């Protein structure tokens, strides 16, 4: 079995079906990269048993249903990307994920609720329906610099309309996508 595996990357392989429940038996896994496949069904509750999981990327698949509550039970999670799936329901409140967790969930058009940007000073800025006055104009140079030249390590997800990067814009004093 794969109980002692630390890192599993099967991204971009056109895999399909549900995530095998045996993944939940990989007790020492820190990184699980499943993006860019055709996995479907719901996000399995067996992921909650992965207490050492730090990096989870399920983006660009065909997962459906709501964002499972079990994700909040992964206490050490630092990065979660569930972008570009078929998820629906309520977006979890910002406190569901720890202060240190980076979460990407764009491209799930049936999700509803507030979207939060975590500010450097641990302030929350809610953008339920931003107006033009709330949005700043940003130059290409600022975007290029803030994303470290659109570095792959800052890539959150990509789809038919292009790629989305996280960046740190000095003029905004927060991390943006």
pLDDT of residue 34: 93
pLDDT recorded at residue 138: 65
Taking only the tens place, the pLDDT of each residue in 116-150 is 444 444 444 444 444 444 445 666 777 778 888 87
In angstroms, the Cα distances linking 51 to 3, 47, 79, 150 are 13, 9, 14, 32
Strands 31-33 and 7-9: parallel
Q: What is the third-level CATH fold of 7-121?
A: 3.80.10
Q: How many CB atoms lie within 10 A of CB 5?
A: 16
- What's the pLDDT score for residue 27? 79
Domains in the chain: boundaries: 7-121, 128-166
Contacts of 55 by beta carbon, 8 Å cutoff, 6+ apart: 30, 31, 32, 33, 77, 78, 79
The three-class DSSP label of residue 63 is: strand
Specify the pTM. Answer: 0.62
pLDDT at 16: 93
Whole-angstrom Cα distance, residue 44 to residue 19?
A: 7
pLDDT of residue 162: 64
Quote the CA–CA distance of 160 and 18 in Å, as a whole number: 24
Write out residues in the chain with pLDDT < 70, as ranges. 1-2, 93-99, 113-139, 158-162, 171-177
């Amino acid at each position: 079995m794969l109980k002692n595996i630390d890192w599993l990357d099967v991204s971009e392989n056109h895999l399909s079906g549900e995530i095998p429940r045996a993944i939940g038996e990989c007790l020492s896994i820190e990184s699980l990269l499943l993006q860019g496949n055709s996995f479907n069904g719901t996000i399995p509750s067996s992921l909650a048993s992965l207490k050492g999981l730090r990096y989870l990327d399920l983006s660009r698949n065909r997962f459906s249903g709501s964002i499972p509550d079990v994700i909040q039970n992964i206490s050490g999670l630092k990065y979660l990307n569930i972008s570009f799936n078929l998820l629906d329901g309520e977006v979890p409140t910002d406190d569901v994920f720890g202060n240190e967790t980076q979460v990407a969930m764009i491209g799930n058009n049936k999700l509803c609720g507030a979207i939060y940007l975590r500010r450097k000073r641990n302030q929350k800025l809610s953008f339920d329906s931003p107006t033009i006055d709330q949005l700043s104009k940003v130059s290409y140079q600022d975007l290029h610099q803030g994303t470290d030249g659109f570095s792959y390590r800052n890539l959150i997800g990509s789809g038919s309309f292009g790629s989305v990067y996280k960046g740190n814009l000095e003029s905004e004093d927060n991390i943006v996508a």
